[in-house]
Amino acid sequence: MTDEKILNTGSVRLTVIVVLAFIVLVVSGFAYKLSQPRILNQYELKANGAVLLDMPRKFSDFKLTDQKGELFTQENLKGKWTLIFFGFTHCPDVCPTTLAAAAKMYAGLKPHEQEQLQILLVSLDPERDTPEQLAKYVPYFNPDFLGASGDKYMLLKLATELNVAFNKVELENGDYTIDHSGNMVLINPYGHYHGFFRPPFEEGSMRLTWRSIAASF
């Protein structure tokens, strides 16, 4: 083989290597882009029921008791995202429907995403929702879900600061129920009030929206 042919062969090989490397880079970049959450604009967020505060805000520390009988404070909200739903275990419709939607949304997340998010039911009915009752109720939706309650004055202060309204309503039979807001409150990994999700809750929209919010945080 002449020197010219050897040179041409080497040039072809180099060209092929460069082209293949370029293709690999393009495909890898495309695959990476596909693997990243799509960042939603404010109109898309609103359409999916998400309302974000212009500036996440701090709120007063609190002391609740979780379903294990252990202390639950604002420190438990730091280091990951938290979706809080204020309800009660004797709620006939809104609460189980909301928690079921949250369970479907959570189940559709990847394992590493689940590690970044916790779902918390804060009971507004401390008289009936003891740690034992919460321990029976909350895991029904997902074993990872948390439940907590506390003193009624502590609950009122916490709910008020997170824009959640509720009211105890006496019934004619001597029993009572609790009227309450249906929003799910979003707390960011700093433990600050970040925004909220409005009903109705659709698992796919919630998952897409939370991924977008977390990715742009």
Pair 31, 85 in one domain: no
pLDDT of residue 114: 99
Number of structural domains in the chain: 2
The mean pLDDT value for 88-107 works out to: 98
Residue 118 has a CB neighbour count (10 Å cut-off) of 19
Query: Could you tell me the pLDDT band of residue 11, with boundaries at 50, 70 and 90?
Result: low
Same domain, 165 and 103: yes
**9 and 114, same structural domain?**
no
Specify whether 16 is located in the same domain as 72. Answer: no
Same domain, 191 and 98: yes
Residues 19 and 101 in one domain: no
**162 and 65 share a domain?**
yes
> How far apart are alpha carbons 99 and 97 in whole angstroms?
6
* pLDDT number for residue 6: 61
Same domain as 29, residue 117? no
Residues 49 and 15 in one domain: no
> In the predicted model, is pLDDT for residue 124 greater than 90?
yes
Tens of pLDDT, residues 158-212? 999 999 999 999 999 889 999 999 999 999 999 999 999 999 999 999 999 999 9
Q: C-alpha 208: how far from its chain's center?
A: 10
Whether residue 199 is found in the same domain as residue 180: yes
Average pLDDT over residues 36-52: 92
pLDDT band at 37 (very low <50, low <70, confident <90, very high): confident
Q: Are residues 47 and 30 part of one domain?
A: no
pTM for the whole structure: 0.84
What is the phi/psi pair of residue 96, to 5°?
A: -65, -35
> Tell me, what CATH number does 124's domain have?
3.40.30.10
Distance CA 95, CA 81 (A): 20
Interval 53-72 mean pLDDT: 98
At residue 103, the 3 state secondary structure works out as: helix
Q: Tell me which residue range forms the domain holding 6.
A: 1-36
